[in-house]
Structure 1
Amino acid sequence: MRLSIATSSRLAAPIAEATIGSFGHYRGLVAGSSEVGDGDLLLALEGTHSNGPWQLDENLRKLNGFAKLSGANWSIGLTGYHARWSATDQVPQRAIDAGLIDRFGNVDPDLGGRTTRFGLTGQAKIGGTELRLFAVRYLFRLTSNFTYFLGDPANGDQFQPRDRRTVFGGSLRHTVPVAVADRPISLSFGADARWDHIDTIGLYPSVAGRRTGVVREDGVDEYSGALLLEGSAALTDRLRLTLGARGDLYGYTVDAAAIPSTPAGALTRSSVRKRRWPGEPATASSCTQILGKASIRTTYAVRRFALTL
């Protein structure tokens, strides 16, 4: 059984909305669609600003964009998202009890984050065959401080996680109708694939929202593939039986850098290349060594059995 979420290809009428709320909340939305040649073009744009109830304004600025060009048996979509915000985060109860700060107050005024995401999708259907492809570019940076001055009384314990990645993937399905004992059965088989290219995933100490060093800074490539088979039959008007089998293979390459024990913040790097089954420890001894460098483990199993009423 597969969950499928589809976006609209056209709107019955254009949309324009404006919202004003408390705590500096403003939201605007415009959307519309039009025929383009033999297809439909849908465009939508949403913007939001909000401060929240905090003494330190959240100053959330969020922008969403969506575009989709579709025909009878195909579609191409483009999405964009960007947000920036300031964060109050958790505050010590004892500071509130002592009257040092309000319960909507803050200890570190330089916390917050920003994130950006662009997505490109494509879908086509020819007869009983369906192809879906996607690509995503994702950027994320956060400034946090959970312990304030516990670890570093002079500069504080502020830190910044960072993630920069590009994701590619797709799926292929082919469905054929068959009959068993004069009962119609829908038989599907196909494959899934995904590659996460994480060019930077890191953790950095910071002061007043500015990085002051490097704790870790790694690069990761994670890839996966799957083959699947599924059969579905209606046993009665209200009861459907679905049986499926799926095998997955995951692999990764890590370019790791750590600096705590190196002088002057110099990076030390090591590379790890493995393929493993989900949930298996990275150093699992059950892997079979191949060519002395890569380890591989594959498993085939019935992944799901479902009755749908």
Structure 2
Amino acid sequence: MLIMRRNLLFFTLLLCFSASVQAQERTAKGRVIDASTQQPIEAANLRFRSSTQQVNTDVHGRFTVKIPAGTDSVYISAIGYTTQAFAVAQLQADFKVALAAVSVQLKEVSVAQAANNPFKPISQMDIKLRAVNNSQEVLRMVPGLFIGQHAGGGKAEQIFLRGFDIDHGTDINITADGMPVNMVSHAHGQGYADLHFLIPELIQQVDFKKGPYYADKGNLNTAGFVDFKTKDVLTNSMVKLEAGAFNTWRGVGMFDLLGEKAKANEQSAFIASEYMYSKGYFDHPQDFNRLNLFGKYHGRISPQTTLTASASTFTSSWDASGQIPDRAVKDGSISWFGAIDPNEGGKTSRTNANVQTVTTLNHDAYLKNQVFYSHYKFTLFSNFTFFLNDEVNGDQIKQHEDRNLFGYNGSYVKNGYWGNKKLSSEVGINVRYDKTNNSELSHTKDRSTLIDPIKLGDINELNLAAYWMESIELSQRFTLSGGLRFDHFEMGYKDKLENNTKSTAGGNTVSPKLNLQYKASEFAYLYLNSGKGFHSNDTRVVVKQDGRQVLPAGYGSDLGTILKPTKNLLINAALWYLWLDQEFVYVGDEGVVEPSGKSRRMGFDVSVRYQPTNWLYLDADANYAHGRAVEEAKGENYLPLSPRFTSTGGITYRSKMGINAFMRYRYMGDRPANEDNSVIAKGYFVADAGVTYSKRKFEIGLNVQNVFDTKWKETQFDTESRLANEVAPVSEIHFTPGTPFFLKASLSYFF
């Protein structure tokens, strides 16, 4: 009997202990939202007193956390919001907390907010502190990314990142609200990414990552990806007017349609518009016009499902002075802002429809579905060689296409625990179909006379993909994440200059990813990323090459860290390596294929953010890249226009009185312009500045581009050309001059 009583007592104590452990390990779930807009806050951080355990909210502001034993308080913070403290007992089922927006304070940023994305804290701070003044500034939000415009303002910018001359998008995956920006098999070049349909004032968030390490990103994701997210809710309606030098005018209107009561019920709708005109600073007027219209609805259509639907249309036209040769400026034939062929220019348009739903499921899971459609038109007239090929009519070319783009993205995401280990899983599928009509390359004169058709045909390209991503917390310090992606391509081309001959090709590729994160302390976070990515080649290339080199692979690795040595200093640094199996793309300017073989790049990135006082913020980015062609002889293996050293930075002042000011610089060092480094593309240093005075109802601003009136070359190419009076061609630097001193004033009214 005594033994039975002892056993009964033992089991009773065991049950009590188990119940106590279960109580201490209680799982809490909740949601963090913006108090003003009622929208979810991504990457909000939950940390417990007397514990190292932390967790971040997902893209829908949701969190699931096991409450550690021995703690009684939880602190919830997010970049640009007040920190709130709660008793652990308040963390009941479906707990919801609303954070109020305040000025960004670097001391509130935790390195834990970098989990799964080391660039997240920096991108969130930058977008809140640095005003985006124009469409060109949009891509400059990515540290280390440089752009250059060389065709009158309306053409997509040339992009540079991690030792790449990406042209207009060959090796960077760009999306806006989940919809692709890059155009595959484009008339002007593979991956052409024109972001001018995006109104800068509507940008809510910029999500970027460098390298090919993310299974949900596919084609063109080798150097990295950039995803822009527009606002779901307007905090207020606004009208903005801008006027600047060179007869530049811009107007923006953003209008809330449903009011504050609707926001409280998680319903929102707004429309926005933008119009811009600039005569430009060139000797021959640009007459650049751009018109944007955008509308969006965001709301809860059931207790479990949120709907986001948007529609937009964009049109633009411009004249361009094009790239000019050094020799023509040196001998006085033309000025620094002159032109050899003033008949360059173009027009483009894009109309989008985008519908997304997010459905919350049981067991901390949700389902995302997205369908999108774009109708896109593009016409460009260029002349890079002047009279090299045609001494009488000149070498002007026309590039044209009319495209329909259809797509679907779907994913299932589940966050939770496997035992006591945090676990996140995602599976998804992507479908994209591009169909272009009359993709054209022609030799023309004065934009109106067709001299010789070079390429003319219809392109269709289908990309089907499936991916899986997994992230598991191995311990409180180690997190392992990875994934696998499968892509299938089917390509077809009907050549209308060859009796409507039809050719097809296709290919498959598998892209594995493996990443490891290590939380060394509350102030140091280390990561090792590795993976395979790819870029597709133009359909007109692969069908002519019998399907060879359809999807050249890229292999990369990053070893990096996020450090916060003091409460007001944040550092992100990484050593990186990237190998490409083939840099092999269709050159739309000439209608030819230019394979440049295997390449290898390596380098380092450093980003520093420092806030010495509540009102002063300093930032700097420095990037170095060493790139070479692998199969060429030493000394002849340089990668033309590959940037070697670049840096950007600035200082931002924000006062409680509503006066905000900034000054920023960007520096690009000299870089090789050809394979043997005998021709150099000269570097530049340019600084911009601005000041605004903001009150509740209005804002006045003054912005200066190129404060020191630097004479600089924005884009440069080593090109062989012949002028009308020359008997032989000359190969040398041809360039587009950068913006001179440019003053712009703005007035905004909020209501």
Q: 1:11 to 1:206 in 2, by over 3 A?
A: same
Residue aligned with 2:275, SS: strand
CA distance in 2, matches of 1:109, 1:286: 40
Tell me the residue number matched to 1:233: 472
CA contact (8 A) 1:160 1:211 kept: no
CA contact (8 A) 2:506 2:547 kept: no
CA distance in 2, matches of 1:24, 1:230: 51
Tell me the residue number matched to 2:251: 28
Tell me the residue number matched to 1:194: 432
CA contact (8 A) 1:241 1:308 kept: no
Tell me the residue number matched to 1:9: 232
The structure in which a higher percent of residues are helix is: 2
CA distance in 2, matches of 1:285, 1:151: 31
Tell me the residue number matched to 2:505: 274
Q: How does 1:109-148 map to 2 (within 5 A)?
A: 109-127=342-360, 128-148=366-386
CA distance in 2, matches of 1:285, 1:97: 47
CA contact (8 A) 2:310 2:353 kept: yes
Alpha-carbon deviation of 1:241?
Answer: 3.1
Query: Which structure ranks higher in relative contact order (CA pairs < 8 Å, sequence separation ≥ 6)?
Result: 2
CA distance in 2, matches of 1:305, 1:242: 14
Q: Please tell me whether residue 97 in structure 1 is matched to residue 330 in structure 2.
A: yes
Tell me the residue number matched to 1:294: none
CA contact (8 A) 2:505 2:547 kept: no
Tell me the residue number matched to 1:71: 299
Q: 1:238 to 1:53 in 2, by over 3 A?
A: farther
CA contact (8 A) 1:82 1:114 kept: yes
CA distance in 2, matches of 1:286, 1:160: 28
Residue aligned with 2:329, SS: helix
Tell me the residue number matched to 2:411: 173
| RMSD (Å) for aligned C-alpha atoms | 2.9
CA distance in 1, matches of 2:341, 2:276: 25
Q: 1:242 to 1:130 in 2, by over 3 A?
A: same
Q: Please tell me whether residue 106 in structure 1 is matched to residue 360 in structure 2.
A: no
CA distance in 1, matches of 2:481, 2:381: 46
Q: Please tell me whether residue 51 in structure 1 is matched to residue 283 in structure 2.
A: no
Q: How many residue pairs align between the two structures? A: 289
CA distance in 1, matches of 2:475, 2:243: 51
Alpha-carbon deviation of 1:218?
Answer: 1.0
CA distance in 2, matches of 1:33, 1:108: 46
CA distance in 2, matches of 1:121, 1:305: 34
Q: Please tell me whether residue 217 in structure 1 is matched to residue 459 in structure 2.
A: no
Residue aligned with 1:13, SS: coil
Tell me the residue number matched to 1:156: 394
CA contact (8 A) 1:10 1:34 kept: no
Larger Rg: 2
Q: 1:304 to 1:216 in 2, by over 3 A?
A: same
Alpha-carbon deviation of 1:228?
Answer: 1.1
Tell me the residue number matched to 1:84: 317
Alpha-carbon deviation of 1:210?
Answer: 1.0
CA contact (8 A) 2:374 2:405 kept: yes
CA contact (8 A) 2:464 2:487 kept: yes
Q: 1:111 to 1:284 in 2, by over 3 A?
A: closer
CA distance in 2, matches of 1:194, 1:141: 23
Tell me the residue number matched to 2:241: 18
Tell me the residue number matched to 2:445: 207
Q: 1:32 to 1:304 in 2, by over 3 A?
A: farther
TM-score (norm. length: structure 2) = 0.36
Alpha-carbon deviation of 1:271?
Answer: 0.7
Identity between Structure 1 and Structure 2 (%): 22
Higher alpha-carbon deviation: 225-234 or 116-125: 225-234
CA distance in 1, matches of 2:278, 2:425: 49
CA contact (8 A) 2:507 2:547 kept: no
TM-score (norm. length: structure 1) = 0.84
Residue aligned with 2:327, SS: helix
Tell me, which stretches of 5 or more residues in structure 1 are unaligned?
A: 259-266, 288-296
Alpha-carbon deviation of 1:196?
Answer: 0.4
Alpha-carbon deviation of 1:199?
Answer: 1.5
The structure in which a higher percent of residues are strand is: 1
CA contact (8 A) 2:421 2:475 kept: no
Residue aligned with 1:55, SS: coil
Tell me, which stretches of 5 or more residues in structure 2 are unaligned?
A: 1-213, 217-225, 301-305, 361-365, 509-534, 563-751
CA distance in 2, matches of 1:229, 1:121: 24
Alpha-carbon deviation of 1:286?
Answer: 7.9
Residue aligned with 2:257, SS: strand
